[in-house]
Structure 1
Amino acid sequence: MAEVQTKTQEKPVKKKSATREWFDSVLFAVVAATLIRWLFLEAYTIPTGSMEKSLLINDFLFVSKLHYGTRTPKTILQVPLTHQKIWFTEIPSYVDWIQLPQYRLPGFTHVKNGDVVVFNYPGCPERPDEFGGYDKYPVDLRTNYIKRCIGIPGDVVEVREGQVYINNKIFTNPPGMQMEYAIEANTQVNEKVFQKYEISEFEQDLRITDKTIYYVKATEQAVKDMKTLDFVKNITPMVMTKGDTTDIRYNTFPYNSRLFPFNRDNFGPVTIPKKGVTIQLDERNLALYKGVITTFDGNDDAKFVNGQIVLDGKPITSYTFKQDYYFMMGDNRHGSDDSRFWGFVPEDHIVGKAVFIWMSIDKDGTFLNKIRWSRLFSIIR
């Protein structure tokens, strides 16, 4: 019997076109960048002076998602590598038709007192809002803020004449912390003098004609150095007196001056909500925590009606917190919109820990000094 041999014919491999190769490369890069941004590190830029002099405007930094644990996505119908809007437009980059339950993957540490933290700005139900708070965007797309964690769940926070106390003990001030001061001089002060002491925010009070007064935001060290100058007569911290609620620019959380006559420099004491802790809903606790219960703690049917909380159709007299909360403040204590003004940061709003600065640009610097070389790859503390 004759043996028949069948020859297998190989099909030639079709070569990808240049357009297809370019598309595949871009797609891979977008997917890889999206995964890295979500799971590990995300780049941020400091847009305001609320953390000066610890962090400067136009510091470029990396934020670790791994430290506190990466959050699972909540808003999944979104253009990759965007936040709230498509680049260079006012077009929303997402639709909120699908909102997934949010979880946090295991991290290797927890938010600690003194950490510099990036979080989604929660906003405050008690005040008008323009910054993308609780009623404007989904949780994971609310505006990113960066502040220093002052208090963790269960801590008692108090500010006395500008000094922070945690659990009745002095909170160590960061070296770069700024406050506002009035400098009385016996002559006009050249702008270069302020620049020498790294004072970028200063203004002369032209309403006063018999004295030369400048209002500056400066670190404690800068103030000590300027006191030695022969033309400086006096430097006074601009600290509000306890119980002064007359200046509406500095109205503070929880916006009830009768029960809480707080201001930016004398605030508290208030206890930060902690998961599993039960409180009685008396008048003071209602004023402090009603926003937590009705807005941030995941209660689908919680309302504040006629001076009481109604949960699932029934009035309640006590409440157990469902998640942890934090108290955040900017190191530029007189130039920061923070927890003193809008309240507590829910745990599900925490994005990550600021770890290091990889670039820093001085927009007013000359060609050779445009980059702040000393800040490159510096650890954030």
Structure 2
Amino acid sequence: MVNIILAIVLLIILPYIGLWKLFEKAGRPGWEGVIPFYNIYGMLKLSGRPTWWLVMILVPGLNILVMIGITVDFVKSYGKFKLVDHIAAVALAFIFLPKWGFDKDTKYTGPSASPEFREKYKIALKKTPAREWADAIIFAVIAATLIRTLFIEAYVIPSASMESSLLIGDYLFVSKVNYGARLPMTPVAFPFAHHTMPLIGTKAYWDGIELPYYRLPGLSDVKKGDVVVFNYPMDADSPLYRPVDKRENYIKRCQGTPGDTLSVVDAQVFINGKAAITPLNGEMKYTVQSDGSEINPQLINDLHLSDLTPVNNTSFKMNATVLSVKALKGYSNIKSISPDITPKGHADPLNTVYPELFPNYKITPNFPDFKWNVDNYGPIIVPKRGWTVKLDSLTFPVYGRAIEIYEGNKVQVVGKDILINGQKADSYTFKLNYYFMMGDNRHNSEDSRFWGFVPEDHIVGKALFIWMSIDDNASFLSKIRWSRLFNIIR
């Protein structure tokens, strides 16, 4: 609430006070400067720009660039010709618009876009080569930041959790338009750095101002099967305590959408009782029985077999796709290949990151151990905005984190009672939509099975296509995986 009040004061009230005073300096009624949209019309008239520019204000993304131009023209009409003044008017409007509004030496000098104004102030408006370069660089930074924020952003695959659908070294373009661009929640940040400054390792943002979550209209909602980039929810915890939009970027496939009942039975995902489509290029672990002879290294490379681990002289385990397994079965030295599935109710030998899967009963005392593993998990209901869940010893371990961390409530367990914001509660109605994300490499992925749901305000965008793919383990001439370039991500 404090952050919301601070944002309203800084981003609305103070700039509007400045506009009121500046409009009065130009002989216009001050109230014209505080009526949304109408004040933009007034700024256009005072700076001499055509009123049809108002149409561009209605176009998402373009409207931000246009408003920067309108603001710059507007302050030029008050004799603010320096680059530092233009930056101040755009980035620190809550300081400088009121300052100039109450400054007796700041006067309205005429419409800055008119030929007469330009002729009269041509010396002041003339730019040096250094100023031309500075303006170009600043505009490029602003334009690139807007493109990354509102339209599309590059992303590189850092881990094997999506193999073989996506490989380490795949460079992707991620669309912000599909689900609607999320406006910055931590607006004061260094351009092009996510959460950490390169080389020096310090924070690349200031979390003194955090804005409420807001997303522009998109082309669609997140759908089951979409490959989605999102902020890692666990970065909310100690020691990082990062704001939502500065948490690490992860990429997984959406398996469960709001309101779905999800379960995993013998490595097969079920949604609302129906088997989900398994990604064709997804990997899992298999046990291979052979005649004891070694497998050709070239075959291992061609079939993209990974994590080969000997069990005894005639068997080994490996990660592979269904298609690779089918091809490998055709070789005479291979006797059998079977999925390495952990039976229901058994401890998970693959779990090396957390002592148990989500929900972690070891950190929720007095609540049960569900005895789930990566191959037999759930059923679990994915929370939906407006859904009311009954809170008890079975549901609280599943939904308590979302209620407390993601929805901002104070949650306590006193004996058998659950307190939300100091009040005893036996139910809770969710404010956000949530998603269940899983990696295509089912036995080598840290995903929602380990840390739970992804809130809607963590969604970054939809992965579109691969624009470059580099294999760091290949020779110099073979580093680029040419066959993967411009592949659409499905």
Q: Do Structure 1 and Structure 2 share a fold, with TM-score over 0.5?
A: yes
Partner of 2:249: 144
Could you tell me which of 61, 64, 70 is aligned with 2:175?
64
Could you tell me which of 313, 324, 328 is aligned with 1:222?
324
How far has the Cα of 1:312 moved from its partner?
A: 2.3
How far has the Cα of 1:57 moved from its partner?
A: 0.6
Letter in 2 for 1:336: S
Moved more, 133-142 or 313-322: 133-142
Distance 1:10 1:270 in 2: 71
Judged with a 3 Å threshold, the aligned counterparts in structure 2 of structure 1 residues 67 and 98 are, in CA distance, closer, same or farther, namely: same
How far has the Cα of 1:64 moved from its partner?
A: 0.7
**Which secondary structure state, in structure 2, belongs to the residue aligned with residue 175 of structure 1?**
coil
Count of residues in correspondence between the two structures: 360
Larger Rg: 1 or 2? 2
Judged with a 3 Å threshold, the aligned counterparts in structure 2 of structure 1 residues 119 and 134 are, in CA distance, closer, same or farther, namely: farther
- CA deviation map 1:288-328 (0-9, x unaligned): 111111111233x3334434431221110111111110000
Moved more, 70-79 or 41-50: 70-79
Partner of 1:371: 480
Distance 1:273 1:253 in 2: 15
How far has the Cα of 1:20 moved from its partner?
A: 2.4
Partner of 1:126: none
Judged with a 3 Å threshold, the aligned counterparts in structure 2 of structure 1 residues 76 and 226 are, in CA distance, closer, same or farther, namely: same
- CA deviation map 1:229-278 (0-9, x unaligned): 01112212111010012645372110238441100100001110111011
Could you tell me which of 428, 432, 446 is aligned with 1:319?
428
Partner of 2:222: 111
- CA deviation map 1:111-149 (0-9, x unaligned): 0000000000102xxxxxxxx344421001001000000
Partner of 1:266: 376
Distance 1:159 1:348 in 2: 26
Partner of 1:96: 207
How far has the Cα of 1:23 moved from its partner?
A: 1.8
Q: Unaligned 5+ residue runs, structure 1?
A: 1-8, 124-131
Contact 1:49 1:57 in 2 (8 A): yes
Distance 1:278 1:10 in 2: 66
Q: TM-score, normalised by structure 2?
A: 0.70
Letter in 2 for 1:287: P
Partner of 1:192: 298
Letter in 2 for 1:194: I
**Which secondary structure state, in structure 2, belongs to the residue aligned with residue 76 of structure 1?**
coil
Distance 2:434 2:332 in 1: 48
Letter in 2 for 1:185: S
Contact 1:179 1:333 in 2 (8 A): yes
Partner of 2:335: 233
Distance 2:420 2:207 in 1: 26
1:112-127 alignment runs, 5 A limit:
112-123=223-234
Partner of 2:392: 282
1:1-381 alignment runs, 5 A limit:
13=123, 16-123=127-234, 132-135=235-238, 136=240, 137-186=242-291, 187-199=293-305, 201-205=306-310, 208=312, 211-245=313-347, 247=349, 249=352, 251-256=356-361, 258-299=368-409, 301-381=410-490
Judged with a 3 Å threshold, the aligned counterparts in structure 2 of structure 1 residues 11 and 347 are, in CA distance, closer, same or farther, namely: closer
**Which secondary structure state, in structure 2, belongs to the residue aligned with residue 378 of structure 1?**
coil
Partner of 2:35: none
Distance 2:122 2:357 in 1: 73
Distance 1:115 1:11 in 2: 55
How far has the Cα of 1:78 moved from its partner?
A: 0.8
Letter in 2 for 1:191: P
CA RMSD across the alignment: 1.8
Contact 1:133 1:143 in 2 (8 A): no
Distance 2:336 2:208 in 1: 60
**Which secondary structure state, in structure 1, belongs to the residue aligned with residue 165 of structure 2?**
coil
**Which secondary structure state, in structure 1, belongs to the residue aligned with residue 478 of structure 2?**
coil
**Which secondary structure state, in structure 2, belongs to the residue aligned with residue 284 of structure 1?**
coil
**Which secondary structure state, in structure 1, belongs to the residue aligned with residue 361 of structure 2?**
coil
- CA deviation map 1:41-100 (0-9, x unaligned): 011000101000111111111111111111121111211111011123311111211111
How far has the Cα of 1:22 moved from its partner?
A: 2.1
Identity across the alignment (%): 48
Distance 1:12 1:318 in 2: 68
Judged with a 3 Å threshold, the aligned counterparts in structure 2 of structure 1 residues 23 and 267 are, in CA distance, closer, same or farther, namely: same
Contact 2:342 2:348 in 1 (8 A): no
Letter in 2 for 1:108: L
Distance 1:176 1:11 in 2: 65
**Which secondary structure state, in structure 2, belongs to the residue aligned with residue 254 of structure 1?**
coil
Contact 2:389 2:428 in 1 (8 A): yes
Letter in 1 for 2:375: D
